[in-house]
């Protein structure tokens, strides 16, 4: 049996789909399973023990290339990708994305059964029209990970076990150990990772509050503080560290996704806004204190037990807006609320 999983992005969403992958592999041990993903999330699935093949959509890069002098080379690359996408007649194509961008690729792919949720999910951009087998839509208030498991459960694939099995290698652990040794953190206790940046402006907490929180953790618990994030997050984190009285380490842009997973396995807990690394920490079994404003933690919070959610009080939350004049939902979260949540971790 040839199976194609379509989950293109984002980092948190791809992590939420890994338990479904493992359940499919357990139910179909001899199947040839392919995952179609976009570039940013490739490290989360590349080398995964439950996968046989990874196909990579470079959609964002191609869109830029088609507007430049590299038009023809980009067009050639797109052709090769489509050829690879169509080189297999899949017995089953599973749409875990439910967006127009996934629907178009499913339409291009060759498959006998093209399966996903039918009409009724929010923000699905009519992607169901590209399917020939539609599972009744489920309530969006159910956690995203559970919705994915419900999709395969409807196909008779048992979904009662949540396993991620992130493809983190000994090499990734060695690289992280080297970084921690360089900054004097290897073997230190406690170590707290803070991931302060998110793509949505409305998900951000004030830099000065992160500075105050970090200093409290240093003063009260003698904690080693390490800030994490992507290459573009460096300036924000430098601003946070500049306002601190104590010392912290900035590893933003110095870790791959797999190294970040390895790093989180070595810390005591993670404080994060609602973003991909928050889900990664939960996936490797580390307690998370998650700051939520415009989004709903029951939909996309850190999955599982042992985590703490901190929210502000406005009635308009969650609004799911990327822009807001006041961002009251995040502004109303106090440093003391976060400290209290950390204390509840035990």
List per-block mean pLDDT (blocks of 10 residues) for the chain, which spans 346 residues.
Answer: 97 98 98 98 97 97 95 97 98 97 98 96 91 96 98 97 97 97 93 97 97 98 96 95 98 96 98 97 98 97 97 93 94 98 93
* Cα distance between residue 211 and residue 241, in whole Å: 6
Is residue 40 included in any domain, yes or no? Answer: yes
Tell whether 288 is covered by a domain: yes
User: Quick one: CA dihedral 274, 306, 153, 112, positive or negative?
Assistant: positive
Distance CA 287, CA 238 (A): 25
Which phi and psi (to 5°) does residue 293 adopt? -130, -80
Same domain? 138 vs 186: no
- Domain's final residue, options 153, 181, 202: 153
206 and 113 in a common domain: no
Burial pattern 80-100, b for ≥16 Cβ within 10 A else e, equals ebeeebeebebebbbbbbbbe
Contact 264, 168 (CB under 8 A): no
Residues 62 and 184 in one domain: no
> Is residue 160 domain-resident?
no
Kind of pairing between the strands at 133-135 and 110-117? parallel
Domain end residue (candidates: 125, 153, 181)? 153
User: In angstroms, rounded to a whole number, what is the distance separating the alpha carbons of residues 31 and 169?
Assistant: 24
pTM for this one?
0.95
Looking at the structure, do residues 200 and 142 belong to the same domain, yes or no? Answer: no
What integer pLDDT is reported at residue 124 of this predicted model? 86
3-state secondary structure of 90: strand
Residue 258: domain span: 171-344
Residue 164 belongs to some domain of the structure: no
Among 153, 179, 205, give the residue marking a domain's end: 153
| Within a domain: 159 | no
Task: Tell me, yes or no, whether 264 and 329 share the same domain.
Answer: yes
Inside any domain, residue 165: no
DSSP 79: H
- Contact (CB, 8 A) for 22 and 28: no
Kindly state whether residue 71 falls inside one of the protein's structural domains: yes
Output the pLDDT for position 123.
81
Beta strands in 76-142 (DSSP E): 89-95, 110-117, 133-135
113 and 177 fall within a common domain = no
**Phi/psi-derived region of residue 203, left when phi > 0, alpha when psi is between -120 and 50, beta in every other case:** alpha
177 & 48 share domain: no
pLDDT of residue 126: 93
| 140 and 201 assigned to the same domain | no
Q: Please check whether residues 178 and 229 belong to one and the same domain.
A: yes
- 134/245 same-domain check: no
At 27, which helix (H) or strand (E)? Answer: helix 11-27
CATH for 245: 3.40.50.2000
Q: Are residues 247 and 115 in the same domain?
A: no
Asked if 284 and 172 count as a contact pair (C-beta separation under 8 A), the reply is no
Distance CA 174, CA 169 (A): 9
Number of structural domains the chain divides into? 2
> Do the domain assignments include residue 158?
no
| Statement to judge: residues 303 and 179 lie in one domain | yes
């Amino acid at each position: 049996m040839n199976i194609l999983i379509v989950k293109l992005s984002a980092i948190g969403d791809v992590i939420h789909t890994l338990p479904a992958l493992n359940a499919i592999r357990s139910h179909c041990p001899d199947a040839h399973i392919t995952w179609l993903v976009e570039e940013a999330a490739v490290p989360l699935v590349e080398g995964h023990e439950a996968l046989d093949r990874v196909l990579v959509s470079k959609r964002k890069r191609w869109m830029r290339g088609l507007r430049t002098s590299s038009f023809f080379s980009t067009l050639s690359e797109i052709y090769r990708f489509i050829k690879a996408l169509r080189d297999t007649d899949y017995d089953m194509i599973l749409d875990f994305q439910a967006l127009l961008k996934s629907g178009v690729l499913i339409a291009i792919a060759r498959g006998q059964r093209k399966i996903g949720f039918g009409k009724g999910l929010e923000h699905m951009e009519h992607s169901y029209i590209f399917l020939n087998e539609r599972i009744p839509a489920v309530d969006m208030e159910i956690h995203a990970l559970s919705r994915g498991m419900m999709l395969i459960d409807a196909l008779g694939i048992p979904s009662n076990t949540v396993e991620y099995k992130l493809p983190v290698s000994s090499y990734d652990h060695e690289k992280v150990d080297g970084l921690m040794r360089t900054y004097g953190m290897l073997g230190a206790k406690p170590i707290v990772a803070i991931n302060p940046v998110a793509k949505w402006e409305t998900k951000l907490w004030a830099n000065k509050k992160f500075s105050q929180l970090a200093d409290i953790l240093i003063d009260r618990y003698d904690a080693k503080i390490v800030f994490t994030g992507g290459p573009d997050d460096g300036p924000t984190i430098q601003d946070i560290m500049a306002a601190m009285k104590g010392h912290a380490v900035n590893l933003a842009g110095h870790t791959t996704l797999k190294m970040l997973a390895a790093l989180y396995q070595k810390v005591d807990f993670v404080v994060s806004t609602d973003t991909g690394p928050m889900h990664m920490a939960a996936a490797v079994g580390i307690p998370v204190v998650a700051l939520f404003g415009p989004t709903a933690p029951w939909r996309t919070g850190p999955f599982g037990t042992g985590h703490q959610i901190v929210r502000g009080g406005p009635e308009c939350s969650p609004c799911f807006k990327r822009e807001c004049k006041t961002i009251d939902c995040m502004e109303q979260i106090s440093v003391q609320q976060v400290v209290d949540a950390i204390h509840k971790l035990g």
